[in-house]
Structure 1
Amino acid sequence: MKVVGITTQQEVYVGSKERNFRINEFLIIEDPYQEDLLGEVVEAKTFNRYIPLNIYGDFVDNSVLESLKALGYDIDEDTIYISKVRLLNEALYPIQTGSDVRLPKFEEVKDIMIKTSREDGLVLGAIKNTDDMALQMDEEFKELFHTFEEGRLMPQKEIPYIMDLKSMHHYPHIGVFGGSGSGKSFGLRVLLEELMIQNIPTIVLDPHFEMDFSETASYLEEKTENFKDKFKCLQVGTHVGVKFEDLSAQDLKNLLDAASHLTDAMNNVVDILFKPRDSYYSFFNRLQMLTEAQEEGSSDKIESRINSGSDEEERRAWRERKKLFESYDKTCPYNSVRGILWRLKRLGNDGVFSKDIREIETGLQNGKLIVIQGSTRILQVFSTYLLNNLYHKRREYKDALYKKTSAEYFPPFIIVTDESHNFAPKGYESPSKSILKEISQEGRKYGVFLILATQRPTLLDETITAQLNTKLIFRTVRASDIQTIQEETDLTMEECRRLPYLRTGDVFISSATMGRTIFARIRAAITSSPHTINPFDELKSKFKEEDERFLKIIIDKLPVMATDLTDLALEIEQETGTTYTVDNLEERLKQMVDKNHIEKEETIFGYRYKSKK
């Protein structure tokens, strides 16, 4: 392999007669006037005289061809392999044409490829096209994982990609981008498995109910890591919620605003009517009584309701309404009070105020991964309160250390969200966006980090996107998303052109720690999503199950005449409690005949259904 054509300090062309080149593989250029230089193949082509194409284009120009001839290549007879190689570090001078090129040894790339040990890092997968170098790799980096390719497990053959967890202190926050079916959720699962292995306290906002790590993946034969004690799934309104008594007026306004946007007048109503240590019911009743009084319209009408009360209890309740009316009617408009009442009732019906977050705090203190499940809307509401609360607990602890005052310990933690553009949208404000933006800009100082996954990076807030120092980029098709990725990473034009065609599970990892983009394949996950069953297999299985159940019910009752289906339906209902109309029962029997489970014959008295011979 030789350097050919006109060279620069950043890029060279390499030609070979014997060896074809692979995209993203590494080569060492032995420049006689400079030290050995490491480069990466960014483009590769093969041609010979039988290919009816113009080879004098942008990639292979006259200077390259002349160099090939001068080096002894017969471009009219030989098959020529040519690659464009970009140097990892800029050379002092343009590379000498004719310099020898060879494959690097592992020791020559170890410091570039591997930034930390297995114990201190997250093993995400394999660096593609490094199998030649991996042959001389240290034993500690071998047999760490399998990859899943072509429907089967493949043993590790390449250098592992180990993300340096400690470097997040200097280069915080991770973005996971990729379209539907690209392997984004699979990659996020692997990332979360690694965090559990390291016992890193983590909160996951899971709107799809898929981040469950109970089940070991079906393709793994051997017993592997068990995560059952390392994570906990909690549903908003069932297991966790907001303790109303702990809310400040600002917390309550954030929650109500997340339910539906608050006007200035509504904010003012909360400030006036909400009292410290209010319970949900005391605040709700205050709002309700005030609206009922305002609906009467005046103090005189309320006084008449007091006088006409049927008992002392009713009169006392109306006196209380009158007091509220006289105190707050002028400062709290009726429509605004109604708006707050409606939002509060909506949150109450969702169960947001039925629990507290103590279980989440305990889980984080124990180094667990806590998965918060719920609809996107409920998670937006709940996360606004939760993240504010936990982030400020951590911040208060760190500030107290700095001031040398006492404070209760709260651990550093990581926040993970799927569909993150719903929580921090570009172009408009949302309650959860403000806390995520604050963490993206200041969280590093306090040990709070973000991992944000989305199919649409273009829709994610730009301030937050700019703070993501590591980005995992899976297959992406939309031009606007590719443009955003190109602006926010160091992906080259060639790599961006490859994005729509990446295989599921292949990923570009753009990392500030590495200082460059690595092309990798995500390792096989140890656990599987509860949604892995194919919906069409599920449908077929359900039909089969229903057929078997129906067959079990009627098999002992055959043969049966079509004219006796009314009696048969009644008999089935008495025995099993399952109700069939005559039409439904006849339809099911015909289906059993069509599926060859039973037979149907014609007699002089009509059709008869009987068991199969």
Structure 2
Amino acid sequence: MQERLIFNKAKMEIGQIIGATTLRGFRFVIKKGMEKHVKRDEFVIVNESVTNNKILGIIKDITISNELLPDEFGRDLRLGDIILNEGEYPVPTVKILGYECENGLELPRHGIKPGSSVKLADDNTLKRILRQEKDTSALIGTLSTRESVPVYVSVNDIVSRHCAILAMTGAGKSYTVGVLIEELLKKRGSVIVFDPHGEYKWIRLEGSVTRVYGVRGDHKIKVETSSLRSIDFINLIPDLTDAQRDLIDAVINLARKFYDKYDLKIVKEILSLIYDAKEGKEILTGSLPESEIKDLSKRVGLTTIGPTMRKIERLSRMGIFELEGTPLDEIVSGNQLTVIDLSDADERLSETIIAAISRRIFEARKAYVKDGEGNFNTPTFLVIEEAHNFAPRTMEERTILSKSILKKIAREGRKFGVGLCIVSQRPSRLDSDILSQCNTQIIMRIVNPSDQEYIRQSVESVTEDIVRDLPSLSRGEAIVVGAAINLPVTVRIRKRITEVGGEDVDIVGEWSKNAGGKGS
């Protein structure tokens, strides 16, 4: 508490610049007694030599040297037997961020004199630089080095210009997604989470609505069958032969041609008509031309039609693909979180649901914004958990259906009020175009070198020094960089106010509880 009061009262002198300086950085020695205030990611102030502008910098590294113990000394002596404090001094390295101007921070044009005083940046300076409009910003945490300095991000930029939340397993990315959802709901936003692990269905924020849909039980998500393309059906039924694929393609094209809307029942009826025609039976085609049914029957065999009918029946028993899908105004609504729980769905079904719903939302918003059609007037924010599975970097053995629509939303969603948040623990497996379109990055601990390098190459705002810091982040810490924040900073994510799902199981605790009195 005392330290916080000092920050607020005045800038504290902590050292003096030594050696050569550049317009990008400098080093300094620490004033005696100030060591406890000097740490990585702490902010400091120095004066520019000509203009006397106050330049903000951040400590990126600290080197401790001892002139009595050069590197060569260790070749001849066992250093573990020696204690030498004389001649030892820490030297922090500072990256220059710039001086305040109307448009934020601007890099200095004049030098900084060696010997200049280095002071801690006070809380008010940092709050002013990080300031966002209260009505349009979201509180995600505090500076990792200053609990007294809150960090806000611009909601408009997070949603309209997309964001990525990236972290290794266990670093706290789902927790961070929960914080962001809470903040968007406080703004009466519309958020849709595609949730492969069922982690978000417990979120309930007072004053807002949470709707949860799954693929089983009473609250199934429904997908309009006529919104699916032939490739969607082929993806859903993995064991199709080439002849069965061609048959499904022909049947879907026929249904599209003669029905405004159709369901799997109609698809099965068309297949049944083809089967009967193949057997030479009299057929009653209704609204379908008899000639087209008979023509199709001549191109396929009974051994193709029968198995295809059974596979469509299997799809029908899921109870997901219907004549009418879940109404969009139920899925998308202001002040509402909609969770699509995909924990009981396999990857093919999950891809199809993500693709179908995302496509409906995008097309509805596009029609409303561009042509004034419909009443779909609510901008919405799509959160894609495990995004590397639904928008992968490389072509898999098969087409990943969700990838194309997510790519389209990343490129064009901004114009139509459809935001995208991709969440992944394997950034190197993400599609680079989608990742590069996410203009705000919330990056937590990542130690995999290939993931680090891929982020650096794919995201313009992520610099080498940011990548170097990723392995040293603690659980619950994140580097926030990009359009939604005025300055790249390391943040300690705030505490959730809603229930947390998907936490690790206490393995030892469960063993002890279940063992009871055995062996005692």
Return the match for 2:403 from 423, 433, 458.
Answer: 433
In the alignment, is residue 167 of structure 1 matched against residue 157 of structure 2?
A: yes
Match of 1:351 in 2: 319
Superposed displacement of residue 377, structure 1: 3.0
Q: Deviations over 1:58-95 (max 9, x none)?
A: xxxxxxxxxxxxxxxxx994542311111113221232
Structure 1 distance, partners of 2:333, 2:461, is 37
CA contact (8 A) 1:474 1:508 kept: yes
Return the match for 1:452 from 422, 426, 434.
Answer: 422
Superposed displacement of residue 107, structure 1: 3.4
Superposed displacement of residue 334, structure 1: 6.6
Structure 2 distance, partners of 1:96, 1:522, is 37
Superposed displacement of residue 420, structure 1: 0.6
Question: Larger deviation: 499-508 or 261-270?
Answer: 261-270
In the alignment, is residue 279 of structure 1 matched against residue 297 of structure 2?
A: no
In the alignment, is residue 472 of structure 1 matched against residue 442 of structure 2?
A: yes
Match of 2:252 in 1: 270
Match of 2:195 in 1: 206
In the alignment, is residue 106 of structure 1 matched against residue 106 of structure 2?
A: no
In the TM superposition, 1:57-206 aligns within 5 A as: 77=86, 79-89=88-98, 90-117=107-134, 119-129=135-145, 131=146, 157-168=147-158, 172-206=161-195
Structure 2 distance, partners of 1:161, 1:339, is 59
Superposed displacement of residue 444, structure 1: 0.4
In the TM superposition, 1:15-94 aligns within 5 A as: 15-18=29-32, 19-20=34-35, 21-34=38-51, 35-49=53-67, 51=69, 53=71, 77=86, 79-89=88-98, 90-94=107-111
Amino acid at match of 1:93: H
Return the match for 2:337 from 369, 373, 389.
Answer: 369
Superposed displacement of residue 500, structure 1: 2.5
In the alignment, is residue 514 of structure 1 matched against residue 496 of structure 2?
A: no
CA contact (8 A) 1:290 1:321 kept: no
C-alpha change, 1:392 and 1:14, in structure 2 (3 Å) is same
CA contact (8 A) 1:293 1:321 kept: no
Q: Deviations over 1:580-606 (max 9, x none)?
A: xxxxxxxxxxx5xx44xxxxxxxxxxx
Structure 2 distance, partners of 1:482, 1:198, is 33
Amino acid at match of 1:408: N
CA contact (8 A) 1:5 1:97 kept: yes
Structure 2 distance, partners of 1:491, 1:351, is 45
Amino acid at match of 2:500: S
C-alpha change, 1:431 and 1:257, in structure 2 (3 Å) is farther
C-alpha change, 1:24 and 1:339, in structure 2 (3 Å) is farther
Superposed displacement of residue 22, structure 1: 1.1
Superposed displacement of residue 534, structure 1: 2.1
Structure 1 distance, partners of 2:448, 2:310, is 40
CA contact (8 A) 1:199 1:230 kept: no
CA RMSD in angstroms, aligned pairs only: 3.3
CA contact (8 A) 1:240 1:359 kept: no
Match of 2:387 in 1: 420
Structure 1 distance, partners of 2:416, 2:181, is 21
Amino acid at match of 1:8: T
Superposed displacement of residue 214, structure 1: 4.9
Q: Deviations over 1:10-35 (max 9, x none)?
A: 11112223223211111111233131
SS in structure 1 of the partner of residue 44 of structure 2: strand
Amino acid at match of 2:249: N
C-alpha change, 1:211 and 1:77, in structure 2 (3 Å) is same
C-alpha change, 1:535 and 1:80, in structure 2 (3 Å) is closer
After TM superposition, the score normalised by the length of structure 2 is 0.80
Return the match for 1:240 from 211, 217, 220.
Answer: 220
C-alpha change, 1:359 and 1:536, in structure 2 (3 Å) is farther
C-alpha change, 1:3 and 1:231, in structure 2 (3 Å) is same
Superposed displacement of residue 281, structure 1: 1.2
Match of 1:60 in 2: none
C-alpha change, 1:10 and 1:531, in structure 2 (3 Å) is closer
Superposed displacement of residue 354, structure 1: 5.1
Amino acid at match of 2:506: N
CA contact (8 A) 2:196 2:385 kept: yes
Structure 2 distance, partners of 1:409, 1:322, is 40
Which is bigger in relative contact order (C-alpha 8 A, separation at least 6)?
2
Structure 2 distance, partners of 1:407, 1:213, is 32
Structure 2 distance, partners of 1:337, 1:498, is 59
Choose 1 or 2 for highest CA Rg.
Answer: 1
Q: Where do 5+ consecutive residues of structure 1 fail to align?
A: 56-74, 132-156, 216-224, 295-301, 307-314, 548-590, 596-613
Q: How many residues align?
A: 467
Match of 1:387 in 2: 358
SS in structure 2 of the partner of residue 392 of structure 1: helix
Amino acid at match of 1:236: V
In the alignment, is residue 7 of structure 1 matched against residue 7 of structure 2?
A: no
SS in structure 2 of the partner of residue 285 of structure 1: helix
Superposed displacement of residue 256, structure 1: 0.9
In the TM superposition, 1:190-339 aligns within 5 A as: 190-214=179-203, 226=206, 229-238=208-217, 239-242=219-222, 244=224, 247-248=226-227, 251-260=228-237, 265=246, 266-274=248-256, 275-276=258-259, 277-291=261-275, 294=278, 302-303=279-280, 326-330=294-298
Amino acid at match of 1:163: V
CA contact (8 A) 1:474 1:499 kept: yes
Q: Where do 5+ consecutive residues of structure 2 fail to align?
A: 1-14, 74-83, 99-106
Superposed displacement of residue 237, structure 1: 4.8
After TM superposition, the score normalised by the length of structure 1 is 0.69
C-alpha change, 1:543 and 1:97, in structure 2 (3 Å) is same
Superposed displacement of residue 519, structure 1: 0.8
SS in structure 2 of the partner of residue 503 of structure 1: coil
Superposed displacement of residue 476, structure 1: 1.2
Match of 1:148 in 2: none
Identity of aligned residues (%): 23
Superposed displacement of residue 212, structure 1: 2.4
Structure 1 distance, partners of 2:44, 2:304, is 69
CA contact (8 A) 1:190 1:525 kept: yes
SS in structure 1 of the partner of residue 321 of structure 2: coil
Structure 2 distance, partners of 1:325, 1:339, is 18
In the alignment, is residue 411 of structure 1 matched against residue 401 of structure 2?
A: no
Structure 2 distance, partners of 1:273, 1:356, is 15
SS in structure 1 of the partner of residue 381 of structure 2: strand
Match of 2:452 in 1: 482
In the TM superposition, 1:488-507 aligns within 5 A as: 488-507=459-478
Amino acid at match of 1:159: V
C-alpha change, 1:292 and 1:478, in structure 2 (3 Å) is farther
Structure 1 distance, partners of 2:60, 2:191, is 37
Structure 2 distance, partners of 1:458, 1:10, is 30
Match of 2:5 in 1: none
C-alpha change, 1:513 and 1:211, in structure 2 (3 Å) is closer
Match of 1:577 in 2: none
Superposed displacement of residue 469, structure 1: 0.5
